[in-house]
Each structure stands twice: as C-alpha cells, then as structure tokens.
Structure 1
Amino acid sequence: MVAAGETSDRVTAAVLIIGDEILSGRTQDTNLRDIARYLAVHGVDLAEARTVPDVHEEIIAALDALRTRYDYVITTGGIGPTHDDITADAVAAAFGVELYEHPDIIAMMAARWSGELNAARRRMARVPVGGELVKNPVQGPPGFTIGNVFVLAGVPVIMRGMLEDVGPRLRGGAVVLSRTVRVEGSGEGVIAAPLETVAKAHPAMSLGSYPFFDQGLYGSNLVLRGRDADELAAAVAELTAALTAAGIASVREVEPA
C-alpha cells in the first residue's frame, strides 16, 4: 500500500516494539537499528517505529494503525512463555481469527524437552489461524506471519536469525543509496542555507545534517540519500560547490559510517 505523498516504487515498513521492559528502561532496544539496516538492503524503507506496553488493547490499536498504512509491519517481543507475552493474542484479535497450537511447533518442542510440555511452553506454540511460520535458526520456537505482519522474538540474537526468513518474503523496492559530505570547523548556522537550497532542488531525495563534536573538532556530516545514482552524484556536487561558495574551507566526501 502507498501512503499519501509516496510513489508506488517505494516499499515501506513499520516496526512495533512490544514490552514494558523497553518503556521502563530496564532493557535497551537494539532491534530497531538491526531491522532498519536489514530492510534497507532489501529496498524497504523503515517509515515509522512505535513502542507499546504489554497491554492487549494498545498492541491491537498500534498494529491496526500501522498495517493499514505501510506495506509491512514487523513486531518484536511478547512471544515467550509468560503471562505477559500477549503478542500472539493481540495479533490474532487484530485479524479477527483464533489462535491454535501449531503441530510443527508442538513436535519441535516435544523433541527438545523430551515431551515435557507444560502450559507455559505450549503458549509459544500458538499461531493465528491462517498464519505461517517464520523460521528460528537460533533456538526456541519460530515466529509467525499473517497478512503483512511479521511477528518476531524480542531477544536480539534470535530476532536477527528470524529476519533471515523474512527477507525473501518481502517485495523489495529500489535500494536507497547514500553519500556523505563532511564539513569541519563550521556550525549548522552556516551550513543551513546551502543545504536547504540543494534539498529544494532535489525533492525526491533526503538530505540531513548530523553534527559532531570530537576533541575540539566540530562540524557536521551531511548525508544525502536517494534511489537515482546520477541525481545523487549531481546533488553531492551541487552541495559541495554551494558550501565552498559560502566560505566553508573544509568540505570533503567521506565513506558513510
């Protein structure tokens, strides 16, 4: 689906991070960064990210808002064995379907735990009717996908493993290219006007300024992103010329971090 102001060749995604532990600060999220980088390689733009608590209604509301606006939604967290792992319940409710114990997951867990499947472990085998499994090559049960939603684990190493089964299922768009112009010894007040001029001349591109301060050295990394390599090269040249004309002495292109 295409949101207002977007072109049909742009494929978008949102991330829904689920868990009280993230909002409380007890756990630092790294999944968003990893998902953004992974999607970029597949030509999918991460357009929005939300974090919600382990509250059934809030998960459903966020999921419904995101899945109607973007091509894909990736959720992380809340698919473990404890009472507060309610992501599967909320996803099923959002799609108006029931949960059932997937026989492949039951068999997998029975083999791992020698048939000792208590109620907590069986919670991890629940999948919405109509859903498909997302492989988990690390440890534990798989995730699942239904509609345009991928439901992944919250543990980073497991989540990254599951992503490898998500990538082949995505309809990728044109990959976004990136180039960086580094300005040293000048603040954003001097950079702003040249940057704005080039940004207006290339509305299909993204131009951003990222200041740095390091052991007395200051300046900004100006990052230009776009899907057209020729336009990107032209914009870099225009920006470099505009910055030099503004009296900025130290301007050079660098490899992106």
Structure 2
Amino acid sequence: MKTLELSRNAIYSGSLILVNGKNPLREAVREIALVPVDEKNPSALMERQSARLLYSLIEEVRARERIVAVSGWRSKSEQTRIYKDSMAENGRDFTKKHIALPGCSEHHTGLAIDLAENKPDIDFIRPEFPYNGICHRFREKASNFGFVERYPEGKEYITGIAWEPWHFRYVGFPHSAIMQQQKMTLEEYHLFLTEHVCGTNPFVYQTNGRRIEISFQLAEKNSLTKIDVDDGALCFVSGNNTDGFIVTVWR
C-alpha cells in the first residue's frame, strides 16, 4: 500500500478540472507546458498530453488536411479582448451565449480546442464542424482518445454556454467514454462522482479486461489530503477546481 499526499492547491489542476461561469480557473497554465496542435495554425496551443492525443485522433480518422484547429489555449488578456470585441460587434445576448467571461473560459486550461472543417473563411467564434462526413468520424473516435464535445445541444441550462459543436475538451479516458455513454456534461459528471466516495464505493468501469475504479475525495481544508493506493495499481489524480479530487485507479 502506498499513500499519496496532496496539497490543497492541487484541487485547481488536472485534466478533469471544471471551469465555467461559477468556477473560474485558479491556477494559470504556464506557457512552457503548451505546444502547437497543428502546423497550419501554430498559434493554437494545448497542454502537451492533450495536444499529442488530438494529433493521434486526427491521424486515426485521416483528417490531417480536412480538420483544422481554430483556437486552443487563451490567456486572460486574449479572452478579454475577444469578449469586448464580441460585445461591440455582436451584442450582449450573443456574447453571453458564446463567449465565456475572462477567467472562466475553458480555453485558459490548455485542455480545450475549437475545431473546424477545413474550408475557406472559417468563423473564429462559431466555426463549422457538422455532424456528417469527416467531422462525424472524428466524433465517433473522440472518446477513445479522451475528448468530449463539451457543450452539447439541450444542456445549455447546465453548462451556461450555447450549443457548440466545434468545442472539444480533453478529460482523459475512461472519463470521456463514460460521459459519452451516459450523455453527461462535465458538470453532471462531477456531480455524479460525488456519490462515489474514495475508499468506500468507487464507480467501476470495465474495458479490455481492465477494471478501472473512479471516485471522489474531498480535500482537507488545513492539511494534506492522503489517499491510499494498492501497490501495483496505476493511479491518476485530478483536482476538480472546487473542493476535492477525482481519483482514477487502473487494476
């Protein structure tokens, strides 16, 4: 048995952090941790692991020339500029639906990417990424590589953002597969996992002969949070950006 010791600040980082209008990003991403996802648009940056898996996903569906990255990581200052420009050009209602407030955008995490079908005159705010052709094939494979369509139709009242077929978020496998199968947003998935307490009743996901246990651990307020893990088990921990940790153990 081994024991992981996690500081309170660790709840603000990891591939499963929830960033939205109620939960701004607390820990700024260091630019040194970011890499370009597409040589056609070297300014579209992502966190290294998510960029590598996005590249592999696009290779898997043979879409190197047919799907392009439009917008990845954004600094708070860039998000502020985009928000102000949209307010001036598109008005308050449109902007509130499609542009997150500075500090509350998933694009700050380095885990989100806006994609477009490779056509002339791509719209930066609402790029076309339809549900047929190569974009359909991308969606079919996305969860295998840890990606989910973050803002699905019909869940606007939960996410606080309008339906965005072009916006994908890296959460990692098997979380992506569970969210897709259960038709959960990240908000719903976080709430679901609070019912599965670490060390008591983990959620179990089976795949390719592997047993994966996923659970929630509330963070200690004034001391290190300690999590016991069996020797030989592969364990990944992500903060949730609010009050605790999501623990994923592969057996």
TM-score range, shorter chain: under 0.3
Normalised to the residue count of structure 1, the TM-score between the two structures is 0.23
Normalised to the residue count of structure 2, the TM-score between the two structures is 0.24
- Larger relative contact order (CA 8 Å, sep ≥ 6): 2
Structure ID, larger Rg: 1
Structure ranking higher in helix proportion? 1
